[in-house]
Structure 1
Amino acid sequence: MSTQVAKSGNTGLGILVGVAAASLGVIYGYDTSNIGAAKDFIAQQYHLGSGMTQAMASVVVVGEILGAIAAGWLANRFGRKKSMVAVGACYAVFALISALAPNPELLLVARLALGLTVGVSVVVVPVFVAESAPTKSRGAMLVTYQFATIVGIILGYVLGYFLADLGQSSWRWMLGVAAIPALVVTLVLFRLPDTARWYMSQGREAEARTTLTRIEPAGDIEGEITEMRQALAEEAGGGIRELFRKPFLRATFFVVGLGFFIQITGINAIIYYSPDIFKSMGFEGHFGSYMLPAFVQVFGLLAVIASLFTIDRFGRRPILLTGISIMIAAFVVMIVAYTMAGGDFATNQSAGILGFVGLVLVTVGFSSGFGSLVWVYAGEAFPARLRSLGSSTMLTADLAANWVVAQFTLSLLNGLGGAWTFGIFGILTVAAFVFVFKFAPETKGRKLEDIQHYWQNGGSWPADGVSLAEDAR
């Protein structure tokens, strides 16, 4: 947790909010990488081809898309806390079913259900944290989720390395061990109240006031209650259709585009298929397949720490654009490495080292930029009544692009080769830079209730002192 969080005067409840978000992030990250370690053993046991092997990774993403679509409604109907408790419990159950599956068909079904729970979590967690965190530390607490996600990714690879020696059944342990942190998370979540903004949306003002007092006792509690009451009154009747009408159509366009670019630029190609990429670069054995990918993610973890300490100081846009720029440079390095190798890294060690550096740079750029900011913008972009629906829409676009990457990357690597594959990702990353530069707002230091003014003012911040009513006109 950053020093900014500490300085904001958070109580134990405020810290617990961050811990809960981080815990679900660990689960999400572990699920993202553990299939990279387990898929080869699954393929060997069931004699699967590349298409079915890719499906083991991509079916989870299909579930995540469906979960993200439903998550906004679930979070509004049952609350942020109950949705997250359900996620933790269901994840434990489906992880165990995956580990015990007697055939690939049941394994696919279990992983689809696992994806449903993950899809709900990636929508609800940013909303929960954004609505619970103090304004001054909100960005840092949202970035904490990405920090935990990378910790989970590293754990997936490291455990894959140590469990690989168990033989053909090792994949069952790799998938099943995820149930342990899921159960722990569920117990932690039971201790939390729901968010003040959700209580207000349900007309439970006393509980909202109590929650605000517990999280930020030195804050202007009555002022925040008044702002929430006003914002909810002006948003009455809002629903999914409002996302596609002015003034929030521009916000929807931005978050959908951002969500799509976050994944289509290829980060999960590296996470899902790191073992295959390292093999193509001449790194053999379990160490090359599992520990080197984990080592790459350590650099990503350091990049997230940098974002954690700077996002509420320097702002969202500079950090995001810098991260994308690093990714562009990284893909150029990858193209050069594969071109130098000419398809044979074994005889060109310099090309292998350069390729490794490229993978590190891609991970650093993504983790510091896209990876950290996706949760920030998902939690901040919309007003309270539209927040979970808007976050759901954003993460659905993100996961749809993730499915494309999961489904076709292995075929691209085998068919076109590394240089062309990473060249495609590089071109898409340049397009992402242009999109972010043109459309991303700077929300640093803005109250959640004030961010809607940006969209109501046609994509620019109104002059200080302009009222919401004047903005709306």
Structure 2
Amino acid sequence: MSNATLPETPQPPSPKAARRTGRLFALTGAVVGVIYGYDTGSISGALVFLSRDFHLTEAEKGLVNSVLVFGSIVGALIGGKLADALGRKAAMLIVAGSYAAFVALSACAPNVVVLDVVRFLLGVAIGISIVAAPLYIAESTPARIRGASVAAYQVATVAGIVLTYFVNWGLSGGGHWRWMLGLSAIPAALVMIPLLRLPDTPRWYVLKGRTQQAVEVMATTDPEADAHAEVAAVSAALAAESGGPASSLLRTPYARATLFVIGLGFFCQITGINAVTYYSPQIFEEMGFTGNGQNFLLPSFVELASLVATVLALLIIDRLGRRVVLLSGIGTMVTMLAVLTVVFAMGELHGAATWVGFGAILLFTAAFNFGFGSLIWVYASEAFPAQLRSTGASVMLTADLVANLLIAQFFPSLMAWAGAAWTFAGLGALAFCALLFASAMAPETKGRQLEEIRGYWQNGGRWPELAPAPTPAGPAPEAVL
């Protein structure tokens, strides 16, 4: 697409106005990230009290969590199509409105059946947001701040989980589980106001053939860029990403890459990170932290450590390399799960043993965010060419959510049936399998161009040998005509 076929660029706004618009895009995305993190973690404190009010069995406790994850799988599967059909902005409005409605309804649930139905619908909204929010941010912000903006969304999600634990602690004295679940309805409703003022993304306008609006938005959000050239680049990228049937993932040369991202996605969750997110008050109560709401307060410090670990990984991942960060994170998880197995095997805990258990949970969660949490999407984006990238990411997300569903449903039942020591020993065995899998499958891609990484997978998991440089061999022979 040449500049001659594009409409004239409108008069760009001042740099100050453009920065303000860019911040508004990033801010709305970050607020949605905080709400997503809050809604994911809020059940951890509420479950302690609603279980007593509704007289839940261990299986019913698991269902309260797993039904949310099942809804997330449905939402993730339809999120991309919804964002393409209605627009990124419309998808974000649906997410924000659904968050506001369903968390308010969950807070008013008269029984566990209604609660499960509403949490399934909330899960659908969460699944859509997993797809739509990063897409909306990445496509709305200038290239020079795009990475920071998307990273800010990830940090905002962890910050939302931190916030929910502090709120749970503050409300635990009165057992106010309805307030724990319902408070996020307020920011969810408020974030719809700036969303209504913002345009959709240039990429979506190009996707729908609305080039004039694409140029206008591009000029508004990034006046320093050539709007015509940027829109032409978007058009070229969309053309490159068309095609790519899902069946291609199962055939040479991408079958090995598909196995890697599915395994990575599955191990990311099956090793138990969301057991801590969903059930940490019960875990800390099992350790002996019961006085002064300790079992509600301590998870806040665990998530603060996770926030620090996430930021640290972002700072060093391009210096130390992917494998070092990933394997050290998983290795630390294995070690901490072994420590937890020993701690719980001691029987009734008190004194130093309780704090050793707390330290193990803290380091386990931080290690997850340092390794798995920071690298899973990096590897997903590097494993496939442009035309298969979104499909590959969807496959990994599905594997991730299926494992999350298993943990959410069966962790409390395993704790009750097998005991904490055997439960954490099983998670440790799975984490050790994850370490072996990552050691065998994960390539070191630091400093490699995307084309080189594609060559690694196309060459059966080996880096292609570079052809030797030609050496001078005297005068070239005369060409035969």
The answer to whether the superposition gives a TM-score over 0.5 is: yes
Cα distance change, pair 300–237 in 1 and its aligned pair in 2 (3 A): closer
- In structure 2, which of residues 407, 410, 414 is the aligned counterpart of residue 408 of structure 1? 410
- In structure 1, which of residues 146, 149, 159 is the aligned counterpart of residue 154 of structure 2? 146
* 2:370 aligned partner: 368
Two-structure CA RMSD over aligned residues (Å): 3.3
Write out per-residue CA displacement over residues 319-359 of structure 1, whole angstroms, 9 at most, x where no aligned residue. 333322322222232223223xx21103xx22212111101
Note if contact 2:383-2:457 (Cα within 8 Å) is conserved in structure 1: no
SS in 1 for 2:191: helix
Within the alignment, does 1:202 sit opposite 2:208 as a pair?
A: yes
SS in 1 for 2:403: helix
Cα distance change, pair 112–414 in 1 and its aligned pair in 2 (3 A): same
Following superposition, the deviation at residue 166 of structure 1 comes to 3.0
- In structure 1, which of residues 164, 174, 179 is the aligned counterpart of residue 172 of structure 2? 164
* 1:124 aligned partner: 132
SS in 1 for 2:235: helix
Note if contact 2:109-2:115 (Cα within 8 Å) is conserved in structure 1: yes
* 1:101 aligned partner: 109
Write the distance in 2 (CA, Å) between the matches of 1:334 and 1:131.
Answer: 43
Note if contact 2:34-2:157 (Cα within 8 Å) is conserved in structure 1: yes
Q: Specify every segment of 5 or more residues in structure 2 that has no aligned partner in the other structure, as ranges.
A: 1-17, 467-481
Cα distance change, pair 29–69 in 1 and its aligned pair in 2 (3 A): same
Following superposition, the deviation at residue 96 of structure 1 comes to 0.9
Following superposition, the deviation at residue 272 of structure 1 comes to 1.0
Note if contact 2:93-2:192 (Cα within 8 Å) is conserved in structure 1: yes
Following superposition, the deviation at residue 39 of structure 1 comes to 1.0
Cα distance change, pair 30–79 in 1 and its aligned pair in 2 (3 A): same
Cα distance change, pair 364–203 in 1 and its aligned pair in 2 (3 A): same
Structure-to-structure mapping, 1:257-268, within 5 angstroms: 257-268=263-274
Following superposition, the deviation at residue 250 of structure 1 comes to 4.7
Cα distance change, pair 249–21 in 1 and its aligned pair in 2 (3 A): farther
Cα distance change, pair 367–286 in 1 and its aligned pair in 2 (3 A): farther
Cα distance change, pair 224–252 in 1 and its aligned pair in 2 (3 A): farther
Write out per-residue CA displacement over residues 24-61 of structure 1, whole angstroms, 9 at most, x where no aligned residue. 22112112221111112111112111111221111111
Within the alignment, does 1:59 sit opposite 2:67 as a pair?
A: yes
Note if contact 2:322-2:446 (Cα within 8 Å) is conserved in structure 1: yes
- In structure 2, which of residues 101, 114, 118 is the aligned counterpart of residue 110 of structure 1? 118
One-letter amino acid matched to 1:42: L
Cα distance change, pair 459–185 in 1 and its aligned pair in 2 (3 A): farther
Following superposition, the deviation at residue 223 of structure 1 comes to 5.5
* 1:398 aligned partner: 400
Following superposition, the deviation at residue 125 of structure 1 comes to 2.4
Note if contact 1:72-1:389 (Cα within 8 Å) is conserved in structure 2: no
- In structure 2, which of residues 361, 369, 393 is the aligned counterpart of residue 359 of structure 1? 361
Within the alignment, does 1:71 sit opposite 2:79 as a pair?
A: yes
Write out per-residue CA displacement over residues 383-419 of structure 1, whole angstroms, 9 at most, x where no aligned residue. 6665554433322211110111111111222222233
One-letter amino acid matched to 1:395: L
Within the alignment, does 1:179 sit opposite 2:181 as a pair?
A: no
Write out per-residue CA displacement over residues 418-457 of structure 1, whole angstroms, 9 at most, x where no aligned residue. 3322222222223323434444466778899998777667
* 2:422 aligned partner: 420
Cα distance change, pair 393–361 in 1 and its aligned pair in 2 (3 A): same
Following superposition, the deviation at residue 118 of structure 1 comes to 0.4
One-letter amino acid matched to 2:347: G
Following superposition, the deviation at residue 284 of structure 1 comes to 0.8
- In structure 2, which of residues 272, 286, 290 is the aligned counterpart of residue 284 of structure 1? 290
Write out per-residue CA displacement over residues 178-224 of structure 1, whole angstroms, 9 at most, x where no aligned residue. 10121133333334443443333333344444444445554576655
Write the distance in 2 (CA, Å) between the matches of 1:46 and 1:268.
Answer: 23
- In structure 1, which of residues 431, 434, 446 is the aligned counterpart of residue 433 of structure 2? 431
Within the alignment, does 1:343 sit opposite 2:347 as a pair?
A: yes
Within the alignment, does 1:40 sit opposite 2:48 as a pair?
A: yes
Within the alignment, does 1:229 sit opposite 2:232 as a pair?
A: no
Write the distance in 2 (CA, Å) between the matches of 1:244 and 1:173.
Answer: 47
Write the distance in 1 (CA, Å) between the matches of 2:298 and 2:418.
Answer: 24
Q: Which moved more, 1:114-123 or 1:202-211?
A: 202-211
Following superposition, the deviation at residue 312 of structure 1 comes to 5.7
Following superposition, the deviation at residue 373 of structure 1 comes to 3.2
SS in 2 for 1:65: helix
Cα distance change, pair 136–366 in 1 and its aligned pair in 2 (3 A): farther
Cα distance change, pair 368–390 in 1 and its aligned pair in 2 (3 A): same
* 1:80 aligned partner: 88
Note if contact 1:127-1:387 (Cα within 8 Å) is conserved in structure 2: no
One-letter amino acid matched to 2:111: N
Note if contact 2:321-2:444 (Cα within 8 Å) is conserved in structure 1: yes
* 2:473 aligned partner: none
Q: Which moved more, 1:199-208 or 1:311-320?
A: 311-320
Note if contact 2:240-2:386 (Cα within 8 Å) is conserved in structure 1: no
One-letter amino acid matched to 1:266: G
Note if contact 1:30-1:178 (Cα within 8 Å) is conserved in structure 2: yes
Write the distance in 2 (CA, Å) between the matches of 1:313 and 1:24.
Answer: 31
* 2:196 aligned partner: 190
With the length of structure 2 as denominator, give the TM-score of the two structures. Answer: 0.82
Cα distance change, pair 214–203 in 1 and its aligned pair in 2 (3 A): same
* 1:326 aligned partner: 332
Write the distance in 2 (CA, Å) between the matches of 1:367 and 1:395.
Answer: 16
Note if contact 1:274-1:289 (Cα within 8 Å) is conserved in structure 2: yes
* 2:479 aligned partner: none
Note if contact 2:240-2:387 (Cα within 8 Å) is conserved in structure 1: no
SS in 2 for 1:166: coil
Write the distance in 1 (CA, Å) between the matches of 2:431 and 2:200.
Answer: 37
* 1:471 aligned partner: none
Note if contact 2:48-2:282 (Cα within 8 Å) is conserved in structure 1: no
Note if contact 1:144-1:308 (Cα within 8 Å) is conserved in structure 2: no
Note if contact 2:21-2:221 (Cα within 8 Å) is conserved in structure 1: yes
With the length of structure 1 as denominator, give the TM-score of the two structures. Answer: 0.83
Within the alignment, does 1:297 sit opposite 2:299 as a pair?
A: no
* 1:470 aligned partner: none
Q: Which moved more, 1:374-383 or 1:227-236?
A: 374-383
Write the distance in 2 (CA, Å) between the matches of 1:450 and 1:202.
Answer: 33
Q: Specify every segment of 5 or more residues in structure 1 that has no aligned partner in the other structure, as ranges.
A: 1-9, 465-473
Write the distance in 2 (CA, Å) between the matches of 1:14 and 1:437.
Answer: 40
Cα distance change, pair 361–86 in 1 and its aligned pair in 2 (3 A): same
* 1:272 aligned partner: 278
Write the distance in 1 (CA, Å) between the matches of 2:452 and 2:207.
Answer: 17
Note if contact 1:161-1:286 (Cα within 8 Å) is conserved in structure 2: no
